[in-house]
Amino acid sequence: MATATANRPKQNLTVDQKLQVLRELYADAPEIGKAALKNGLTTLTEELAAPGRAQTAGRIGARQGKVSELTVFLPFVKGGAKRLRGLLELLEGNFRAADAVGTVHDMRFVFVDNDTKLLFATAYDGDFDPYIEDFASKIPNAMDLWLCNFEGYPGMRNAKAAADWIANHQIAAEAWYVNSPNLTAPETRRLEKVGKAVEGLLDQIG
Amino acid sequence: MSLVKETIINDPSAQAPMLDLHEIQATVLRIRPAPYFGVHVILSVDDARAGREAIRRLTPYIDSAKGWRIAANAWLGVGISYTGLQALGVPRESLESFPEAFRVGMAARASQLRDEGVNDPKNWDPPFGTGQVHIGVTAFSDSEEKKRRALAIAREQYEGLSGVRVLFMQDFGAQPGDLNPLGYKDGIDQPAIEGSGDEPLPGQGPRIKAGEFILGYPGEAGVPLPMPQPDVLGRNGTFVGLRKYQSRVGAFNRFLRAHGSTEEERELLAAKLVGRWRSGAPLTLAPDVDDPALGADPRRNNDFDYANDRQGRKAPFGCHIRRMNPRDTELTRLTDVNIHRLIRRGTTYGPPYDPNALSEEADETPRGAYFLFISSKAMATMEFLQQEWIQDGDFIGAGDERDPIIGRQEEGATFTIPREPVRRRVHGIETFNVLRGGEYFFMPSLSALKWIGDLTETNSIGPKER
């Protein structure tokens, strides 16, 4: 349900009720927090009065506008951390497959818990489920090359199982903020081009 | 991860499977005749035994795809919905082997299909979306007379069975020039299927693996798609999505008049929306003026790609045919266009297109099309198409714009026509085709129909309400 809001239970509260909940939550907060609640009340009241922007993405995860988040904790197989770290170092920040996918805004690879797990977090447009078969058909090797380093990964040629495997490792973000929620990655690239063209035109006129 | 262009190594010893044409229903592979005449009949089953009796009697008259090039005779096809399979007493373990989207039905998938607002199932015409649509029988023919005879044969098999009701009948076809309700020649571009024995028409593209369209054969990924069980039920079957559209001919004509002051301007705009002139001639090959001879020639009217139209100045990126088959268009998202294709069987109903119909009453004249979308994964493909290629434009660089012909439009919708020196943006696009019904059917093989007809009470669970 792409349009469902994430924080349903709090959706129907009035601003006063929300403030009351916050006061209760912060009753035992450190002094800094209590002071912040009191001093920041004006801004906070405006924020709480604004219509909610939080939505859910696909099967699991949060979305704002057109941009979704995907956060996974993936357990490494033996030697997996070493291989992936080596691969990432050699790529030196070039991710051609992500460029090809077209909808990926960013990706971060964080090795945690003594190199036993990877925290992978990305922002992308829409849902990934509808395109999983396209990944399997177009970039199976690029996907398998890095995901083979994790426990239980079924391989991209088994697209449905791979999608399930990702969803099973996914942790929905509690909150998600997107600065330009209506700008997809392709739209951003298009606007970059349009912007350049307009500047060029203005240069000629001026 | 640095490798973008990838190839899956194909086993050179693997031969293209020859299809069991004698098992596959004719409707899957047989091309709509021209002119065409037909009728859709919807049956509801109140008694499992009577329902199976109807299936058993109908089965010998259901045509296979064998000898399918000869479209000179009438043929009958049959599809069964999930509630229909339940009502016929198909065993629980079989029922559970069907895909989720098929089991809950098209109406329940409205949010995934973006069937909202005017297209919401609550606005559909009966009997669609009620759970009462169990069996669909369709007669196709090249003449009214043969259609009548085919229908009479079908009726003899189910009429008089207590426990089987006719919910609905709809004649289709018989349009002058076989034009669709908005006045276009349609149904031109169909996927070429490997192993079907047909010679692809120029421009049809590479043959697509049969498993994408018929269950039991390898698909584009090299393996068969998931199949309902047991094997005899699933193999050589396929899924059909039926969509009933009401064409708002008045709104369409008003739009053309508001944005074109001469007949020529209006016809060019009409062509830009679709990507073809009404004659079927593609803008890519006839960008400035219509070429009816080109439109009428099946060996030429689809023989193009977009290599020489990278800017969309001939066929706009957002036009209907470029969305539904982007061919070699550079898309913004990684896409394998071969895995999102459907076999389409458009069946037009109501009075023919009237270019002078301008009133709001004309919008509600019963006139439109029942589309049959056929594929081994029709449900997933239709959801993909609705979400990505019809109700959105980002994939082809058209931002929020939607398909100008079958999209559901919001207030203030636009359509962009790339042009030198500056693009033209047309405002006032409305929903020209409103969804008024839809159902998913399973189209079983002839052996599967026999299997269903021969089910006994011991292995069936009897009729069940949804």
Least Cα distance to B356 among B246, B245, B254 occurs for: B254
Looking at the fold, whether B453 and B382 belong to one and the same domain comes out as no
Contact B150, B138 (CB under 8 A): no
- Tell me which DSSP letter residue A51 carries: P
Looking at the fold, whether B65 and B92 belong to one and the same domain comes out as yes
Asked if residue B189 is part of any domain, the answer here is no
Looking at the fold, whether B284 and B421 belong to one and the same domain comes out as yes
Asked if residue B20 is part of any domain, the answer here is no
Looking at the fold, whether B431 and B283 belong to one and the same domain comes out as yes
Looking at the fold, whether B116 and B262 belong to one and the same domain comes out as no
Looking at the fold, whether B226 and B310 belong to one and the same domain comes out as no
Whole-number CA gyration radius for chain B: 22
Within a 10 A sphere around the Cβ of A1, how many other Cβ atoms?
9
What percent of chain B has pLDDT above 70? 93
Task: Give CA separation, A38 vs A24, B317, B448, in Å.
Answer: 13, 54, 72
Chain A residues with CB-CB distance to B226 below 8 A:
160
**How many domains does chain B contain in total?**
2
Q: Where are the alpha helices (DSSP H) in B110-183?
A: 144-158
- Tell me which DSSP letter residue A69 carries: E
Looking at the fold, whether B155 and B293 belong to one and the same domain comes out as no
C-alpha distance from B393 to closest chain A C-alpha (Å) = 10
Taking the C-alpha atoms of residue B234 and residue B236, their distance in angstroms, rounded to an integer, is 6
Average pLDDT for B45-67 = 94
Taking CB atoms and an 8 Å cut-off, how many pairs form between chains A and B?
Answer: 95
Looking at the fold, whether B127 and B82 belong to one and the same domain comes out as yes
Helix (H, G, I), strand (E, B) or coil at B305: coil
Contact B46, B165 (CB under 8 A): yes
Domain chopping of chain A, boundaries = 8-52, 68-169
Looking at the fold, whether B57 and B161 belong to one and the same domain comes out as yes
Asked if residue B184 is part of any domain, the answer here is no
The CATH code belonging to domain A68-169 is 3.30.70
Asked if residue B353 is part of any domain, the answer here is yes
Q: Which pTM value belongs to this model?
A: 0.90
Which of A12-16, B215-219, B301-305, B325-329 has the weakest average pLDDT? A12-16
Q: For chain B, what is the mean pLDDT?
A: 91
Taking the C-alpha atoms of residue B441 and residue B378, their distance in angstroms, rounded to an integer, is 10
Asked if residue B15 is part of any domain, the answer here is no
pLDDT at residue A106, rounded to an integer: 96
In sequence order, what are the residues at sequence separation of 6 or more whose Cβ sits closer than 8 angstroms to the Cβ of residue B406?
Answer: B245, B320, B390, B433
Looking at the fold, whether B375 and B425 belong to one and the same domain comes out as yes
What ipTM score was computed for the predicted complex, to two decimals?
Answer: 0.81
Looking at the fold, whether B30 and B173 belong to one and the same domain comes out as yes
pLDDT at residue A6, rounded to an integer: 44
pLDDT at residue B141, rounded to an integer: 92
Asked if residue B202 is part of any domain, the answer here is no
Helix or strand (DSSP H, E) at B320: helix B320-324
Which range of residues forms the domain containing residue B109?
26-178+216-237+442-459
Looking at the fold, whether B328 and B390 belong to one and the same domain comes out as yes
Task: Give CA separation, B65 vs B49, B198, B463, in Å.
Answer: 28, 12, 31
Asked if residue B169 is part of any domain, the answer here is yes
Contact B221 A2 (CB under 8 A): no
Contact B3 A184 (CB under 8 A): no
Contact A159 B221 (CB under 8 A): yes
Within a 10 A sphere around the Cβ of A39, how many other Cβ atoms?
10
- Tell me which DSSP letter residue B279 carries: T
pLDDT band, residue B11 (cuts 50/70/90): very low
pLDDT band, residue B466 (cuts 50/70/90): very low
Give tens-digit pLDDT for B395-425: 999 989 999 999 999 999 999 999 988 899 9
Least Cα distance to B431 among B269, B247, B273, B242 occurs for: B247
Q: Closest residue of B to A93, CA-based?
A: B2
In sequence order, what are the residues at sequence separation of 6 or more whose Cβ sits closer than 8 angstroms to the Cβ of residue B200?
Answer: B192, B207
pLDDT at residue A127, rounded to an integer: 86
Asked if A192 has any chain B CB less than 8 Å from its own CB, the reply is no
Among residues 4-63 of chain A, which lie with CB inside 8 Å of chain B?
none
Tell me the residue ranges of DSSP E strands in B103-237.
Answer: 135-141, 164-173
pLDDT at residue A10, rounded to an integer: 55
Taking the C-alpha atoms of residue B464 and residue B49, their distance in angstroms, rounded to an integer, is 13
C-alpha distance from A87 to closest chain B C-alpha (Å) = 9
Q: Are strands A117-125 and B37-45 parallel, antiparallel or unpaired?
A: unpaired
pLDDT at residue A154, rounded to an integer: 96
Mutate to test the interface with A, among B4, B208, B385 (most CBs of A within 10 A): B4
Least Cα distance to B371 among B87, B128, B75, B85 occurs for: B128
Asked if residue B103 is part of any domain, the answer here is yes
Contact B383 A130 (CB under 8 A): yes
Contact A68, A58 (CB under 8 A): yes
